Amino acid sequence: MAKPNNPAREAIALAYSQTDAAPRVVAKGKGLIAEAIIARAREHGVFVHESPELVALLTQVDIDEHIPAQLYVAVAELLAWLYRIEHGDRAALPPV
């Protein structure tokens, strides 16, 4: 259980394919559900990016809905960064 001054963790999962007009929310949750989303992503080798600000905005999007146009740039930058990481660009990795 989360401590009162430590709010429950939240997670949003996005999916994007070439046939989609924009990325869409495929899962979201708080607390144990968020932990399960994160664990499942890591089990499948999906990079987990932590951005409380972006999560706060994406929690307003319903599951299976495309992200709003206002978030296109932020999500596109994140996807481009993840693409570089997945294709071996060590400079794109966050500092340790």
In the predicted model, is pLDDT for residue 25 greater than 90? yes
| Whether the Cβ atoms of residue 28 and residue 58 lie closer than 8 Å to each other | yes
β 10-15/24-30 pair status:
antiparallel
In the predicted model, is pLDDT for residue 6 greater than 50? no
Q: Which domains does the chain have, with CATH numbers?
A: 10-92 (3.40.1690.10)
In the predicted model, is pLDDT for residue 94 greater than 80? no
What is the pLDDT, as a whole number, of residue 42?
A: 94
What is the pLDDT, as a whole number, of residue 2?
A: 43
Per-chain mean pLDDT for the chain:
84
Question: For residue 85, how many other CB atoms are within 10 A of its CB?
Answer: 16
Give every CB contact of residue 64 below 8 A, 6+ residues apart in sequence: 24, 25, 26
Q: Model-level pTM? A: 0.74
What is the pLDDT, as a whole number, of residue 51?
A: 87
